Structure 1
Amino acid sequence: MSDKNQQAIEEMQEGNLENAANLLNETIEANPDDPIGYVNFGNLLQAVGEEEKALNFFTKALELDPANATAEYGKGNTLFTLEKFAEAIEAYQNAIANGLDQADVYYMLGISYYSAGDYIHAMPSLLRAVELNTDDTDARFHYGMCLAQVERIDEAMEQFLVLVEQDPEHADGWFNLGVCYAYTERFEDALAAFNRALEIQPEHALAANGKAKMDEALSDNT
């Protein structure tokens, strides 16, 4: 990577986007056949919400280097932001096929499937993201959600239990743990989970509804 590419990345990380853009312009002018400058400029444009322009830069990078995994990943992120999930999935799959074996790309592939409502295909990618980064609570949460959606409730419960241990303030984690408990008729555990979600997020309407149902179920059983 050229010095200016590296400087541009540092400027981006520090929030100096205009300086980064100037450096990347100079890099591309000096090295028009090097895909790295186009990838970095695409990332910059994507970061500031210029998705359509970003796509042009990722496309140019891939014209220069069709096997450029980071260009495919950037392209996938941009398409995901545009809610073009099928195209994003293809880009992430290409990134993985070209050697980008990282938790983030598996998470984004999984979340693209998830956003498209395809929970079956989302699961393996989200599981792989969790395996590569066990601290990724977003990946674990969505993996648990996929398991719940396909009624693998015991496995979903395991994921939500780990999640709320990792992040005790995860209101949606507690809520969905409560749903799993309710599904398996562990009403007292469900009530406790819904109450915890409401302690964290008092306006959590779904948890409030779950709590009311568990109060009713427990009163009926007495």
Structure 2
Amino acid sequence: MPNRNTYAQRFYEAALDFFEQGQYSKALDHIKKAIDKSGQNADYVSTKGVFLHKMNDISGAIEAYQDAIEINPKHSFAHFNLGLILMKTGRVTEAITCWEAVVKINPRDVDAIFNIAVALAQVGRRREAIPFFEKVLQLKPDHVQAHQNLGIIYRDESQFAKAKHHLMKLRELDSTYSEVVDSEISKCNEQEFLNRVTCDNPVRIAEEFLNIGGQNKNKASELLSQALMALLSEDFPTALKFADEALAIDPEELQARIIHSQVRFRLGQNNDAISELMAITADHSDCAEAFFQLGTVFLSIGEMEKALEHFQRLARLDPQYPLVDDNISSIEEKLRHR
């Protein structure tokens, strides 16, 4: 005569069959019968959790997974699925604890590590999420979502070289992300420019670039400083106003012209920005920032050949200019795959 475990296994297998057929109530009835015959089988109890979750009985599913974990504290399947439910119901910290338990059982569980990273990022602990995303890539270098998340986080942390590395890897792994990657790389380029312009005291920078004396120098320096700060704050109309006033004092002032063209670009006035930058390069053929901005504007509007031309000119002027090699490589790769 078959023992209780044999009957339990039969009920379990029947439950799985009913579940696959979409007969969830019958599946649940049979898994309960399996548990009645073998109540200390964590696999059966966690399967009950799956069925209840499918039937939208969230509290019942949570209880089933918790029961499975009580039976077998190392039941990674129950920990993992419990984490998914807790995450969906907004209990993020508890979800992280569940996935940490999975990683403790299996340190190479990519899905659990990735979920921890996503959860940390979701609650604003983005820097803490970075090593988890990096661990995912250590275990699975072609993990698309890990590259995507790191690209965005590193961009927001102003680590532009790392951001662009992951964004370009994302595009390499999945071409459907091409437009997203282009947009994010453009944002990296813009922010890199702003960081370079404002890496020091804005007033001191303005004074160094303005070549006028006395009261006019002080006034122009103040205006240029205000234009820089408005540009950083993305208050583009105000930045344009101050740049115009600085140029009224000295129409040939180089840094004011560069800032003015940058504001035009950020306002979407691409043709005006291009015209102003072209005039700057005609007057100052060694102005690296102007060539960088021209390349950035052309790249943003999809004119890759012109973007490449200006980035290459920049590379000849200043081979150490930030991002220039990455931009050239990225554009050349795009052109090859046209």
TM class by shorter chain equals 0.7 to 0.9
Give, as a single letter, the amino acid of the residue that structure 2 aligns with 1:141: F
2:14 aligned partner? 41
Preserved CA contact (<8 Å) 1:85 1:113 = no
2: CA distance between counterparts of 1:201 and 1:83?
34
Stretches of structure 1 lacking an aligned partner (at least 5 in a row): 3-26
Instruction: Look up the match of 1:135.
Output: 108
Counterpart code for 1:214? C
Structure 1 position 217, deviation (Å) = 1.7
Number of positions where the alignment pairs a residue of Structure 1 with one of Structure 2: 195
Secondary structure of the residue aligned to 1:34 is: helix
Return the TM-score normalized by structure 1: 0.75
CA distance in 2, matches of 1:202, 1:217: 25
| Counterpart code for 2:109 | D
Structure 1 residues 37-77: Cα deviation after superposition (integer angstroms, max 9, x where no partner): 21232233334544332112112223445444222111112
**Which residue is equivalent to 1:220?**
194
Tell me how far apart the structure 1 counterparts of residues 39 and 52 of structure 2 sit (CA, whole Å).
Answer: 18
Q: CA deviation at 1:211?
A: 3.1
Runs of 5+ unmatched residues, structure 2: 197-338
Query: 1:1-222, aligned counterparts within 5 Å?
Result: 34-99=7-72, 101-204=74-177, 207=181, 209-222=183-196
Greater relative contact order (Cα < 8 A, sep 6+): 1
Taking the aligned partners of 1:90 and 1:212, their CA distance within structure 2 comes to 48
Q: 1:131 to 1:190 in 2, by over 3 A?
A: same
SS of 1:203's equivalent in the other structure is helix
Q: Which residue identity is paired with 1:176? A: N
Q: CA separation in 1, counterparts of 2:22 and 2:104?
A: 31
8 A Cα contact 1:89 1:112, kept in partner: yes
TM-score, with structure 2 as normaliser = 0.51
* Greater Cα radius of gyration, structure 1 or 2: 2
Question: Which deviates the most, 51-60 or 117-126?
Answer: 51-60
Partners of 1:49 and 1:216 in 2: CA distance = 52
- The answer on whether the counterparts of 1:70 and 1:100 sit within 8 Å (CA) in structure 2 is no
Return the offset for 1:136: 1.5
Give the letter aligned to residue 116 of structure 2: Y
TM-fit CA distance, 1:160:
0.4
Q: State the secondary structure of the residue aligned to 1:221.
A: helix
Which amino acid is 1:182 matched to?
R
Distance 1:92 1:206, change over 3 A: farther
